[in-house]
Amino acid sequence: MLKKNLIVGQSGGPTAVINSSLYGVVSEGLAHPEEIGHVYGMVNGIEGFLNGTVLDFEEALPGEKLGYLKHTPGAYLGSCRYKLPESLEDPVYPLLFKKFEEMNIGWFFYIGGNDSMDTVSKLSRYAARIGSDIRVIGEPKTIDNDLVHTDHTPGYGSAAKYVASTVREIILDANVYEKKSVTIVEIMGRHAGWLTAAGALARKYPGDNPFFIYLPETAFNTEEFLAKVEKAFEKNCNVVVCVSEGIHDADGTFICEYDNSVGTDSFGHKMLAGCGKYLENLVRDRLGVKARSVELNVSQRCSASLLSATDQQEAVSAGVYGVQAALKGETGMMVSFIRETDENGNYRMRCGLEDVNEICNAEKPVPAEWITDDGADVTEEFVQYALPLVQGKVDVPLGEDGLPVFVYRK
């Protein structure tokens, strides 16, 4: 068998462990020198590949430097939000496969969320159509945890740990004054509330703050919300509320739209921001109490100090497993996570494969039965689901300047 080269790219928004999946793909690729020649990286995803920006990992990250990927946030290879044309008749497809041929690519890996799986789907379908033997595998990645046919996604555990730990700290910060106050914590998640739900893990004891958690899976009623907050002051003068950026009312209008002008990104998604600020002002105006809002923002997806070791290890495993599957001839598949229980009844995860066509452009919401009837909290089932995913501390090496050492392309 002639050796072929492997190429890997990253796409969509970064996560704290998207580079751990990259490490898994690259290290496993380099571990099969009898079958795999060079291990290349596309700089800035498929869009960068089209522009000819490619690196060779043995030159870019030689020796132990490769391991630094495992604690480096952001997408080491850079990312893109380029969507391949729907029609496989488009001239971009023969152009891409010509480039693959020139570079003797036999294995193609793409690390990303729904939109990236769409790229994997199109490339694998085009490969089948022209009889190319390129193996195309998707590696899941999203802090949103909204991919179907997988128990969870790499990136979610670390983001959930960031949310849980930070909300726990914000609660301590909120509790210092003996004066009625409301703190609104706005958490990422456009259509799925998985990450916002992780605010429930912040509770130190049953009945602790955050008193309310609002997900985009249920309609948000402003008047009910104000009444609940008012009532909660009977328990504690400092009320902390977690809200997803994507909460909306029964008519489907995003709460943030009551406040802000809203743009759209290149995939036509609405760019949301500001429901926290809107609710802060609403609470101050209507309840006459001190109010503030905290938008957790990009640290949710790029905090190295709050990496979940479980998430990191699973992200590496997904990368390794994908390469092994491709070597066995699999293509058009996404690596999935299957939850199991070990002999002691503890959480254990194993990797599987799912047809990427069943995954792209679908979204998995938080199940209705994991949301309380009043739509203002999540159930213990959710907590039991999420807890194993945030376990374990990662020691990030510090440099001479006392700050975390990351690898990067200059």
Residue 234 CA: distances (Å) to CA of 204, 279, 373:
19, 20, 22
* Smallest gap from residue 35 Cβ to a second copy (A): 30
Answer yes or no whether residue 155 interacts with a second copy by CB under 8 A: no
Per CB under 8 A, which of residues 190..249 are in contact with a second copy?
Answer: 201-202, 204-205
Structure tokens at 49: 């590949």
Answer yes or no whether residue 404 interacts with a second copy by CB under 8 A: yes
Answer yes or no whether residue 298 interacts with a second copy by CB under 8 A: yes
Answer yes or no whether residue 262 interacts with a second copy by CB under 8 A: no
d(CA 314, CA 142): 13
- Mapping DSSP to helix (H, G, I), strand (E, B) and coil, where does residue 248 land? strand
Per-residue DSSP letter, 217: T
* Choice from 7, 294, 318, 323 touching a second copy (CB under 8 A): 294
* Choice from 48, 113, 140, 210 touching a second copy (CB under 8 A): 48
Residue in 84, 87, 62 with CA at minimum distance from that of residue 9? 84
* Choice from 5, 37, 81, 180 touching a second copy (CB under 8 A): 81
Structure tokens at 48: 């960068």
* Smallest gap from residue 19 Cβ to a second copy (A): 9
Identity at 25, one-letter amino acid code: V
Cα angle: 369, vertex 142, 327; to 5 degrees: 115
- Give 223's contacts (C-beta < 8 A, 6+ positions apart): none
144 is catalytic: yes
Answer yes or no whether residue 289 interacts with a second copy by CB under 8 A: no
* Choice from 304, 335, 351, 359 touching a second copy (CB under 8 A): 304
3-state SS of the chain: helix, strand, coil percent to 5? Answer: 40, 20, 40
Cα angle: 192, vertex 193, 196; to 5 degrees: 145
* Choice from 295, 347, 352, 379 touching a second copy (CB under 8 A): 295
* Smallest gap from residue 50 Cβ to a second copy (A): 12
* Smallest gap from residue 114 Cβ to a second copy (A): 17
Using the contact rule CB under 8 A, the part of the chain among 41-49, 136-144, 222-230, 371-379 near a second copy is: 41-49
Structure tokens at 17: 């462990």
* Choice from 129, 177, 363, 384 touching a second copy (CB under 8 A): 177
Torsion 161-167-171-173 (CA) sign: positive
* Smallest gap from residue 167 Cβ to a second copy (A): 10
Give the CA dihedral 217, 219, 225, 228, nearest 10 degrees: -70
d(CA 47, CA 61): 22
Per-residue DSSP letter, 337: E
Q: Judge contact between 187 and 210, C-beta under 8 A.
A: no
- In the complex with a second copy, which residue's Cβ is closer, 192 or 198? 198
- In the complex with a second copy, which residue's Cβ is closer, 160 or 326? 160
Which position among 144, 259, 311, 377 bears the catalytic label?
144
Answer yes or no whether residue 256 interacts with a second copy by CB under 8 A: no
Answer yes or no whether residue 384 interacts with a second copy by CB under 8 A: no
Q: Which residues bind a second copy (CB under 8 A)?
A: 10, 13-14, 44, 47-48, 72-75, 78-81, 161, 164-166, 168-170, 172-173, 175-178, 201-202, 204-205, 294-295, 297-299, 301-306, 308, 387, 390-393, 398, 401-404, 406, 408, 410
Catalytically active residues are 144
